[in-house]
Structure 1
Amino acid sequence: MAIAPLPLLLLLLVGGSSGEEAEVVCAGAACYTLHRAQLGWNDAQKRCHDNGGKLAPAHSPAEARRLQELLVGADWTGPAWIGLWLPRGHCVQPQEPLRGFSWVAGEEGGNYSAWLSEPAVTCLSTRCVSLKLAGPAGSPGWTAHHCRTPLPAFFCKFIFQGMCGPLPLAGPGRVTYNTPFGVRSPQLAAAPFGTLADVHCEAGGDPPRGNPPFAVCKKLEQGDGFAWHPPGPLCPAACAHRNGGCQHRCLEAPGEPPRCACHPGYTLAPDMASCLPEDACHPNPCQDICQTRPGGFECSCKDGYYLATDGRHCLDVDECLAKPCQHECHNTDGSFVCLCQPGYQPTGPGGHHCRDEDECAQPGVCPQLCINIPGSFHCACQPGYQRQPGSDACVDVDECLRDPCPGTCQNLPGDFKCLCSHGFLPEEDGHGCRAAPTAREEPSVGPDSTPQTTGTTGTMGALQTKGILRTTGAPSTMGIPQTLGAPIGATPPAPTAVGSAPGPEHSADGPRLLLYYILGSLVAILLLLAFSLALLACRKRAAKQEKRPAKSAADNYCWVPEQPESRGAGSERR
């Protein structure tokens, strides 16, 4: 005959050692208490710490259900402090499940959260969290407050190495359990390690001298279990009274106290009263984790799952409901995965946040210029280039099509250059031409390069030219310059060397060089003309001398008529 397992958790309203009312529930290796006292968060934390515990966390759905059982058992609908807070100097993180808060009990943050209202975003003040039911039969939810705000209740959590089952009694009596965290209870389904059980037997069942028996929950010397010492059952009596305190069978022998035994397939538990299946977890009756307990077994689930109402199966927790990801959340069995939008990469703890990916940091993304934008990038071209339609390639812009130069335009890769004609100089950027300075603006030149004429009777007249003529290659004149007032006998000026190569300053100044060539040519023409006139004059003089008849020596004298001597004498006398 199958025997139903004893309940593993028993919710009781007990009076604390100080007279305060506290709701208690113990399971596994922890006990949770609900205390009613008007305290701020720090004072509540100190009360829990003085008894060896901390403000209770609710970092998983299973733990939140234990706190919910305390509230429902106490019929309490008000808020109660839990061990979740935001220290001063830390900022609220709206994208995280815990919003930047942390558990004081040292548990990891996890992905479970149950905010009834979003906490105000702040970095300057300490914030603390309370838990309350969202309605008479609702699930527990969280609310953030100022930590100094007094609330009427708070939760504590106490962790132990293990638990003992109820202390068995063979005869009529009552047990009072004194827990290590200062709570006294007349009955517990699971007593934590170190609990002292006071026993008061009825009908003279106490030991001699009137000292009531007691037992302590201790760790077994062999194995990992815990049991009462002495193991009991206490208050000896016949098996006829409550089956001697045994779960299955009570055996009596003459001269011996009653002892408990179990049905086939079961074994006596360390408390010497309860019976356990020889292997309650084989085969595993649970979908996930099975733990043997006094009178049966207990099922539990891994992180990311919660226990179904049948107590055996596990259901997946949809962590995406708490919106733990910055962009997209994909729920998986027992966990979740955060996904980022195109152009972003995961970052931060667990990859819950996303940062922009700098595509321009990769070589060869764009032919010339790359501009990074949130979630993408944009290719651009350098000045003087334009994008080719339908691709990111950059092609040269022919600026000469816009006719930007006054003369000839030369297109270059990404630029252009103006070629200036004679009489003009290029601009510094090469994108235009300006007129060259005139001859009047040039400094005076020395006698070696500027023609000058000096004569015995006067200076040569100013040379008059009708214009500066363009030349191609070697300079040539289009007409003969006119000169005025140049005497034939004047000394011609020294000719300028026409065939010499121009200096650097001439090659850089086209108009000046042209002027020098014209003046040199003019001087050469004047010299040739003067030489020709002189030669012609000499020839004419020589021809006249040849035609003149020969003369005697007397031709050089003049004859006068004779006069009388007397006249001549009188003349002499006069």
Structure 2
Amino acid sequence: MKEVIGLFVVVLTSLMGRADGIEPNSGYCIGNQCFTVFQDPSDFTTAQNQCKDQGGHLMTIRSSVSHDILLILLGNFTLRFWIGLHLPTGCPDAAADLKGFQWVTKDSESDFFNWAPSFDSSCSSHRCVSVSKNDEFKWIQEPCGERAAGFLCEYSFSEPCKRLAVSDGESVTYWTTLGFGGEDVLSLPPGSIALRRPAETKYVCLSEQWQQAPWSCDIQKGGCDYKCAVDPKQGPSCYCPPGQAVNPANKVTCVVATEDPCLPLRCAHACNKSGDSYKCVCDHGFKLAQDGRSCLALNDCMDKRQCPRENFVCVNTVGGFQCVCKDGYTMFGGMCVDEDECMSAPCEHICDNTAGSYKCSCYEGYKEDPKSPNKCTLYCGEEECVAECDPNDSFQCYCPEGYVSEEREHGTFCIDFDECSSDYCDQNCQNTFGSYVCTCSPGYTLVGQFTCVKNEDGTVTEGTGAATTPNIPTTPPVPYPDPTRQPSGVTVGGLVGIIVCTAFFIVLLVFLAHHFLSGRGKMESAGALKAPEDEAYDLQQVTSDTKEKPPQRDI
């Protein structure tokens, strides 16, 4: 029974997996493989993701048989379609059979090769491959970022079913879980549905066998035209709306009832015949209430057998449940496989994939950033260490927070800065490499990581009363700086000394300027006084020489 439930889960998850995806234009199944063609313009990466979401991968053409299938699928298309061949790294190797290219399954095994004569072996060549009917389906290199007309997907499965035998006047139409079907399908994957006409009987493929409807209500309503219900004694059964009854010939379709014995029962969900009478039954995921007609929802996930396969989890829904993959796992071929999160480069330095998750680590000289575990910051852990310098500019160097750089003859070094010398802590301070820790004396409590507040109740803490600073906050309280931020190199006393010296120097300059200007003023005053004296003397001499003699009288 457990194996049957597990197979139901695989079929259900495969149906849910493609419910939101695009529909293929056509498909072909042979043995344990199916192939589909999608006419959906996409670049190479998008095409590969589309196939992966459907539970497969881009088609690999490793043999002449798969090449023939390619011809069948693309016989009516003339544009270009992606196949699962690409060059992930490096340059092409013209001497190799696959020219250094790989299939998307990460291997190079192949018995068939169909390269175009125009193959480009240069390192700048295109790295993805497409095919087209117009080029006789040769493998042609294309830019991976360009959009082809579509792509081909490949799927693998186990326990397939063969075609149903038909009698004269009968026909069978098939639908696969991959979204295509028809009457000429030779091999069908588990979960495929078959409809036999004209009887309108339905079948589902399970464990290489066709099981006639009604089957499990989890898979397409058990094959019922209207709804599926579970009778604890009889298993799944179909029922019809009021005024109609289940066709006894195929047990899934509804026909007009000449007389409906279920109407007087007023069943909330369904009514089934039990012996010579009728009784109410409930849809799958519900149970019959004590009144015999109401239905109560069940938590199907309480039954641990619902999702038995590895890495599946059960999600309860109204009237049912869903089997989905655990976090860190993805659906592939009906199984939940580990998803390699490192492919999306979530870590700044080193990424190690783990089962269902991943782990980030840092290069030597760095440590994990406590604010962002996927990032790394410079780390020394000693009193001094070599600085991290730009290889293109030796003068552009970096140190961890809490360190200062010092240029030496042989390079630049990072020296731990003693923050305790700047009196950032209210009472006690202990310097650490790249930071510092504030503590308080007995009877005080550390508040805000810097300030010590006296205990109001007068209690004295045992021992020293030291309290270690927790993680340094992003924005420390004013006026204390962040312990990991490089503080100013000037102390308060030094700053006062600088101010006093500057003031003294200014006063001295003023005094000297005043003295110089005063001396010059005296010199100019003496010169001015001398000049008038000389001028007065000269004027007196002139006056004396030209003094008019008195007139003489005649005798």
Q: TM-score, normalised by structure 2?
A: 0.32
Rg (Cα) greater in structure = 1
Q: TM-score, normalised by structure 1?
A: 0.31
